[in-house]
Amino acid sequence: MLTKTFRDIAFGPSLVKIERGYFRMGSDTCPAEMYRDETPARERSVDYRFSVGQYPITFEEWLPFVREAMPSSPLRSFVEEVVRRHALLPAVMVSWHEANKIGRAHV
């Protein structure tokens, strides 16, 4: 169950707390559009509390990080162009390592 949203820093994203507990992942039915590893349904546990963004990070929110952390990267011009046209689209093509750097920059 989601809790109230909060921000850990003034300019950071809206976050929700995820409590410890169990949930069911996957499905016992197998529609044609499912991947094989999405079935059967199984119980999974969350062993610790954590917070996660309420909404996906947008290109507009990602751009300041790209400008600071990757000033000469070809990715910067791509992100700037996307922001000019579609600033509020969820950011895509973000690696786990880039997302981790963004997270550490907000701590």
The sign one gets for the Cα dihedral 36, 42, 43, 47 is: negative
Determine how β-strand 15-18 pairs with β-strand 50-53. Answer: antiparallel
Q: Give the pLDDT of residue 6.
A: 86
Structure confidence by residue, pLDDT tens digits, 18-67: 899 999 998 888 777 788 888 888 999 999 999 888 888 889 988 888 88
CB-based contacts of 51, cutoff 8 Å, min separation 6: 6, 8, 15, 16, 17, 18
Look up residue 29 and give its two tokens: 């039915």
Q: pLDDT-based confidence at 4, cuts 50/70/90?
A: confident
Q: Give the pLDDT of residue 86.
A: 92
